[in-house]
Amino acid sequence: FSGKNSALMWSTYALFDPSYQNHESFGFFIDVGNGWTTIAPCLYLNYAMVYPENVSHLLLGCVVIASYWQMLYGTLIYFLSFLFNKRYE
């Protein structure tokens, strides 16, 4: 995973879906929001995998479920807006 490959992937997808390159669209903000808000839960999850004895399993489960729900919800809303706005045409 290099920056060059990520930029190529983003620019190719942005050609496919114009709302992705629009900084005022939901699709743009859900991706940026998910990117920023999943850093802490992912770090906590990785720490828990390395040091499972140092974390609360109940808290870890709640954090992972909430993070999963956030990503799922954002993805479904983004996909539905893609279909509703007929971006596939």
Higher pLDDT, 88 or 1: 88
The CA distances from residue 45 to 15, 51, 58, in Å, are 34, 10, 12
- Cβ distance 77 to 31 under 8 Å? no
For the entire predicted model, the pTM comes to: 0.65
The CA distances from residue 24 to 10, 32, 45, 79, in Å, are 17, 12, 32, 17
- Please state, as a whole number, how many other Cβ atoms lie within 10 Å of the Cβ of residue 40: 11
Q: What pLDDT score was predicted for residue 81?
A: 80
Which tokens go with 9? 């992937």
pLDDT winner (highest mean) among 2-6, 15-19, 61-65: 61-65
Higher pLDDT, 21 or 7: 7
pLDDT tens for each residue of 55-76: 999 999 999 999 999 888 888 8
